[in-house]
Each structure stands twice: as C-alpha cells, then as structure tokens.
Structure 1
Amino acid sequence: MAQKAKKDRAKANATALTNLHYGALIVNAGFLLFYIIFRSRSLVAWLLMSTPAFFCQYMIERAGRPRFDAQTGALRSSGEDLAAAGLTEYMFDVVWVTWGVEVLVVLLGNKLWFLWAIVPAYGAYKGYGLLGSARQMAALGGLGGAGAGGAAAGAPDQPAPNRRQRRAA
C-alpha cells in the first residue's frame, strides 16, 4: 500500500497520455491522408494551426509522464496531475479545439480554420479576467500591503464580514 496515490496517479497519467497520443495520431493522420488523396485543403494552414497543439502535447507529455527506475523498475515520479485545473486544463482544451477544427476543415472546407481563433480569444478573455482580479485585489490590499482603503488611510482595521453578514446587507 506504500505510495498508492502516486501509483494511481501514474496509471491515470499513462492512460491519459496514451489516449492523447492515439487521438492526435488519428486526427492528424486522417487530415494528411485526406490531403494526399484530394489536395483540396491547405497543408500550410494545417501546420500553422497544429503547431500550438503539438507544443501543448509535448508539454503535457513532459509534465505528466511517469518515470521509473531503469534498474529496479520502481516508480521514481508519478508526474504532475493531468486532471488538475489551470494551465494543464487549458493545454488540453487547445489540443481538443485544434482536433475539432481539423475534422471540420476536412469535412467542410479551408475557411473553417478561422474557427481556431476561439483559442486565443478564450485565452485573452481569461487573461483579462485574471488581470481584473489582480487589480481588485491590489485595490483592496489583498496582496499583503495596505490597500487604498486600508490602515494607511487612517481607518481602523475591521474584520471582513462573514457570509451571513454579507447576505443580510
């Protein structure tokens, strides 16, 4: 039972990475096969739009692949949790959106490459929200120092109201 959580994470990561690589192989090989047969889709656009997904797959592979000792076969590192929210989740989203756009381009035409613009637009939206949160925290003094309305302005320190008090207000 020693290191059961690490072994479980290593197994889950290995399965997720295998599925990721098989999915990439199927979608990209299908696109290239369609290109070789019909030559009606842009190979340059495919390469340009697939590069971020290839980079994300590489980073996911490096972070999540379990590592084993070469001599004993014992688990050295289970890798990062690939089910974690945040950047890992966003990298998976980039890969999946790219695959979806590739399939739609094969089925409906080259003009659907513009649909891939969802990825940077979503990133800009999340970044703007993060920037707004950071500004709000800085204004409230949540970053460790006294904010605009904190003790530096001469107001006495009052504890923040709890959830019940906020609802009542």
Structure 2
Amino acid sequence: MAQKAAKTLATRNSAVLTRTHLISAALHILFLFLHQIFHRPRSLKPYFLLAVPTLVIEYYLDRVGRPRYNEDGSLRSAGEDLNATGLTEYMWDILYWTQGCILAVCIFNDRAWWLWAVVPLYSVYLAYTTVMGVKKGFAGMGGGNRAEGDYEGAKSKREMKKEKRGDRVKVRTR
C-alpha cells in the first residue's frame, strides 16, 4: 500500500474536478440556451465579464489539482490538495458563487448579476478582519492596556494574589 495518501488525494481531486466541470458546463450551456431562446434585451457583456474569470480559475484549479500518471499507469503526482485553506479556498468560493449567480440569472433575469457584488464586499471584510486581528495581536506586545491608560484591567500577578487573599491593594494612577 505504498502512497496510499497520494492515491486517495488523486481520487478525491479527480472526482471533485469532474463534478465541478460538469456542473459548470451545464450551467453555462443552460444560460446560453435560455439567452438564445428568449431573446430578451439582455447583453452578454456581464456574462463574459463575470463568468469568464471563473473559467480561468477553474482551469487553474484543474492544472494544479489534476493527478498525473506515468505511461505504465502508476501515479506520478497526486496534484495539490484542492481542500487547502487560503487562496485555494477563496477560489472555490468565487467559483461556487458565480455558479449560483448564473443560476439566479437563468431563473430571474439580468439583475441577478448584481449578486456578484458580494464577492468584493466579502474580500474587503476579510481584509478588514485580518488587519484588525494583526493589530490586536500587536497590541498585546509591550503591555498593551497600560500604555493606553486603562489601569483597572491590567493587574500584575502579585496584585491578583493579594486580592484573592483579601489584602487590600491600592492601584496608583499617574
């Protein structure tokens, strides 16, 4: 059972990529079919502007995640883990959200493309929470609260032990 983990990853990646390609192709064909049938006064500009970049993402995920085999059928490379966190996870979010938007446009109308505006808003939210988390992490370095003048919450271990015993502790403020 050599390389069992790699074989499992290769099988999982192949299944995920096949399913993603089939769903994506079905949604794009459905959209283009409905566009041709109903001849609504809709333009294909939003479709190309918003859907084509996800096709590029899908191609990238296929390139990095598709397992590669030798001529004799043995596994050469299992591909990258498509369940990885970080940028890969964000790409999957964009891909799934765009597929949902295409489906919404098929069911409702072209105004459903505005749902795609959630992606940049989500990016701004992620950037904000990351910056605030880093800022909060740096605030703990060097005494954090005492530098801001909040002496009530910042007590030394000695002061806390005295309070626990019932001794009266006098906290001086500057």
Q: TM-score range by the shorter chain?
A: 0.7 to 0.9
Cα deviation per residue 1:43-89 (whole Å; 9 max; x = unaligned)? 111111112311221221122111112x3222111111112232222
- Structure 1 segments, 4+ long, off by >4 Å, are none
Overall identity of the aligned pairs, in %: 40
The answer on whether the counterparts of 1:52 and 1:94 sit within 8 Å (CA) in structure 2 is no
Which ranges in structure 1 are unaligned for 5 or more consecutive residues? 141-146, 154-160, 162-169
- For residues 135 and 121 of structure 1, the distance between their equivalents in structure 2, rounded to whole angstroms, comes to 21
Q: Could you tell me which residue of structure 2 aligns to residue 143 of structure 1? A: none
Structure 1 position 148, deviation (Å)? 4.0
- Which range moved further: 18-27 or 29-38? 29-38
SS of aligned partner of 1:57: helix
Distance in 2 between the 1:78 and 1:51 partners?
27
SS of equivalent residue, structure 1 residue 42: coil
- Asked if 1:38 is matched to 2:44, the reply is no
Partner of 1:26: 26
Tell me if the contact between 1:83 and 1:89 (Cα under 8 Å) persists in the aligned partners. Answer: yes
Aligned residues: 145
1:83 alignment partner, SS class: coil
Output the amino acid matched with 1:132: M
Q: 2:98 — aligned with what?
A: 98
TM-score normalised according to structure 2 size? 0.76
Query: Counterpart of 2:85 in 1: which secondary structure?
Result: coil
Partner of 2:64: 63
1:64 maps to amino acid: G
**Helix, strand or coil: the match of 1:49?**
helix
Q: Which residue of 1 aligns with 2:15?
A: 15
Unaligned runs of 5+ in 2: 148-156, 158-174
Which amino acid counterpart does residue 92 of structure 1 have in structure 2? W
Q: Judge conservation of contact 1:67–1:75 (CA < 8 Å) in 2.
A: yes
Q: Within 5 Å, give how 1:154-169 maps onto structure 2.
A: none
Name 1:132's counterpart in structure 2. Answer: 132
SS of 2:72's equivalent? coil
RMSD across aligned positions (CA): 2.0
- Structure 1 pair 51–139 and aligned structure 2 pair: CA distance change class (3 A): farther
Where does residue 48 of structure 1 map in the other structure?
Answer: 49
Larger Rg: 2
